[in-house]
Amino acid sequence: MVYSTLTLASFASMLPAVLAGFDSSAQTNVAVYWGQNSYGQATSQTRLADYCSNDEINIIPLAFLNGINTPITNFANAGDNCTVYAGTQLLNCPQLEEDIKTCQSQGKTILLSIGGATYTEGGFSDSASAEAAATNIWNLFGSDTSQKNRPFLTAVVDGFDFDLESTTQNFAPFASKLRSLMDADSSKTYYLSAAPQCPYPDAAMNDMLNGAVSFDWIQVQFYNNYCGVSSFTPGSTTQNNFNFKTWDDWAKNTSKNKDVKVLIGVPANTGAGGGYEPASSLDPVIQYAKQFSSFGGVMMWDMSQLYANSGFLDSVYASLTGSGAAKARSATTLVTKTKPAPTQAP
């Protein structure tokens, strides 16, 4: 038997593909939203931990916190495994507490996404109200686990994402306060992201995106609009409608964080959004985007749609990494932690 000495450094070099959350230096980040079960079947969204062994996914935004002034959490059929805190619209989710910790132990970056299409509060009446609301949200999901009515109990998210679909006001002071609270906590690294629609400037979030707030990355929704991936012209160095170049310019010249990354947001299946493109058509889009230093990877909506579209993630991941043929083990095959209880579609 031959023995060899494996240094810590050489061992660590084997880990990043498995233990990899958001990487600000990479163009291979993959973010997939979980929580809304948009595929719509009773079993098309299983518990969060079932997806975290997939080493092709780095970031999972949990969708959504769709009320802020009156905090409301909604995770579609996953909410069937939660109870409701008395006198609130907040879920008490021990299973999500466990699963968030499991996913984080596997290197995933877990964010709470704020907003969604059903968010209707419109923001805040003034800056003071926005900052007070941010402090309340931080107490509910941040590092002080002694606070009451925490939906994820002792689990602490890795940051927050904004997915606002209609005009709002005073979100910049809200986001800035969240950023300052995260930055003041040295217990771990926290992140802030946003998911604007591709027309620039974004109508719903421009007050945050115009240089007022430091984001680590944005995941632009290049779908449901004329500027989406479906408008990409293969082989052309000049794109008339697909406007990643515009967002790269935003990253370099407008963003408060000049090292911000821009992810290309796409529907993960035909029913996930207008302008779905198969992975083969996304490959030239991804290769085009790689010329821009701000390019950081791909975002997909959503997990339930993705896992109903066999091979899509494998192929997109291969385009990002240049790894060629998809891995033998299908990355979109669930490895369930426990057999999920039957649930009703939302």
List of residues 6+ apart from 216 with CB closer than 8 A: 22, 24, 159, 191, 192, 193, 257, 260, 261
Burial of 294 (0-12, 13-18, 19+ CB in 10 A): buried
> In whole angstroms, how far apart are CA 153 and each of 82, 100, 310?
12, 11, 34
Catalytic residue among 56, 98, 121, 165: 165
Active site residue 131: no
Among the listed residues 158, 151, 135, 16, the one whose alpha carbon sits nearest the alpha carbon of residue 73: 151
Q: Tokens 């926290």 sit at which residue? A: 190
List of residues 6+ apart from 78 with CB closer than 8 A: 35, 37, 45, 47, 48, 93, 95, 96
Q: Tokens 């939906």 sit at which residue? A: 151
Q: Which residues are catalytic?
A: 165
